[in-house]
Amino acid sequence: MKMITEGDLKILYTADEIQKAISSLGECLNKRYNREELYLICVLKGSVMFMADLSKHLKMPIRMEFIRLSSYGSGFSSTGKVNAVDISLPDLNDKNVLIVEDIIDTGHTARFLVDFIKHNFKTRSLKFCSLLDKKIKREVNIEPDYYAFEIDDKFLVGYGLDYDGYYRNLPYIGYVET
């Protein structure tokens, strides 16, 4: 595996740009749900930062759930296979549910999760919110209902996104040329 160091990273979105975008998403969601209770489903590990920051802007009663899926190996590209490491969820029947993801790339993870929830629950509503959307890489037909940034085909790290488990703690989003 190719080693990368923080010096190889170019900044794509600064911490400030990310926070501004999340604040706008929060406003949007506050309008959409009004004061109705909302279940946020955080897709670990990548969405940990986004979930935490987004939730602070929300004004409706919130419940947070955490599931763990993995599709990326330790390299630069998606495997297309989704591994449900932990997908235990409470009863979501008749609930407003919002899936919170860091990024939609090929779309396999998103498709798997949406289908899983639809198969198991009759939710009041089910929406998908992704910080980043790599539309150009899509292999299955799925679009986020809410997203902050559309990006082209770059491998990103930081703000939850990792390379081989590293860089999730960076407050900004950077990329490496591959």
The residues that are catalytic are 105
d(CA 92, CA 161): 28
- Which entry of Mg ion, ligand IMP, none binds 99, CB below 5 to 8 A by partner kind? none
Nearer to ligand IMP, 7 or 165 (CB): 165
d(CA 20, CA 23): 5
Residues 47-86 that bind Mg ion (CB under 5 A): none
- DSSP of 142-163: ---SEEEEE--S-EEEBTTB-B
Q: Does 161 bind ligand IMP (CB under 6 A)?
A: yes
Q: Does 102 bind Mg ion (CB under 5 A)?
A: yes
Q: Does 9 bind ligand IMP (CB under 6 A)?
A: no
Check: CB of residue 136 under 8 Å from CB of residue 130.
no
Residues 51-80 that bind ligand IMP (CB under 6 A): 71-72, 78
Q: Does 46 bind Mg ion (CB under 5 A)?
A: yes
CB neighbourhood size of 34 (10 A): 8
- Which entry of ligand IMP, Mg ion, none binds 108, CB below 5 to 8 A by partner kind? ligand IMP
Q: Does 128 bind ligand IMP (CB under 6 A)?
A: no
**Paired tokens of 162:** 């990792």
d(CA 102, CA 68): 13
Check: CB of residue 148 under 8 Å from CB of residue 21.
yes
DSSP state of 176: E
Rounded to a whole number of angstroms, the minimum distance from the CB of residue 128 to Mg ion is 12
Nearer to ligand IMP, 6 or 37 (CB): 6
Residue ranges in contact with ligand IMP by CB under 6 A: 46, 71-72, 78, 101-110, 155-156, 161-162
Residue ranges in contact with Mg ion by CB under 5 A: 43, 46, 102
